[in-house]
Amino acid sequence: MVTRLHGRGAAGCGLESATIPVTVPGLSSPPEGIAVTDPHAKPPASDKPYPGPPPLRPEGARAGPYAGIESEDDPWIRLACAEAVASVRAGGGPFGAVVVQVDDASGTVIRHWVERNRVTESFDPTAHAEVCAVRAVARDLGVFHLDRIEAGTARLPQPGPTSHCVLYASTEPCPMCYGAIAWARIPVLVFAATRFDAAADGVDFQDADLHAAVARPYRERAGMVIRRADTPGSLEAFRLWAEGDAVRY
């Protein structure tokens, strides 16, 4: 089954707009009864609530870093995984992401965005699927934070006074993508494959060193030379920021 969605590439993440055919097993449209619109369409009314992230599985399904967060399948995560497959077939990296905007008052889905890894397409090493998705959503809505989107400040219409976003990633986000998701204050993250799956033989996306490095003192980090320069004036920008009235984020 095929559903056509709008991939909203942000600056540095490839095309500004594209129609992407995505094959989703068992999903010919968004989940039944849930209203979903194009990012630039007026949201329709719906009495079907967004069910929230997929329910947790019983404890012990998987040990290690995923203990306590293992969950059931979900149509939105399948959509992210289908986009990852479409990306590979188009010559890109094997990663996809979906962001769903949910109305806080009614719990209905207002709109969603679909993105893919665009590193090789755009010659941008930061153009991971999750980063591209966060950029596209923030740009389209005209906001910095995606945990509480207010109708009076967002560029696109929404039925209630506030909404929030949920991000679905085909694979566990790397440290850079996790940082982007956290800086955007997205309150819910759902991913499917793990970083260990991505590091398997023949796939070889090795970010174990990055995960380990952020926990080490700088002098113990491998892969680059790092220095902290004791430079006069390095705090001036912070002083101006603290004393000024620039938009906080």
Show the tokens assigned to 143. 């906001």
Active site residue 130: yes
Torsion angles phi and psi, residue 190, rounded to 5: -125, 130
Matching residue, tokens 């630039």: 40
Q: State the greatest distance between any 2 C-alpha atoms of the chain, in Å, as a whole number.
A: 61
Q: Give me the catalytic one of 130, 150, 236, 243.
A: 130
Instruction: Give the residue among 204, 188, 184 at the shortest CA–CA distance from 196.
Output: 204
Specify the pairing of strand 162-171 against strand 188-193.
parallel
Q: Give 100's strand partners.
A: 112, 166
Q: Tell me how far apart the alpha carbons of residues 154 and 103 are, in angstroms, rounded to a whole number.
A: 13
**Cβ(177)–Cβ(95) below 8 Å:** no
Show the tokens assigned to 158. 């929404």
Matching residue, tokens 């909203």: 8
* Residues annotated catalytic, as ranges: 130
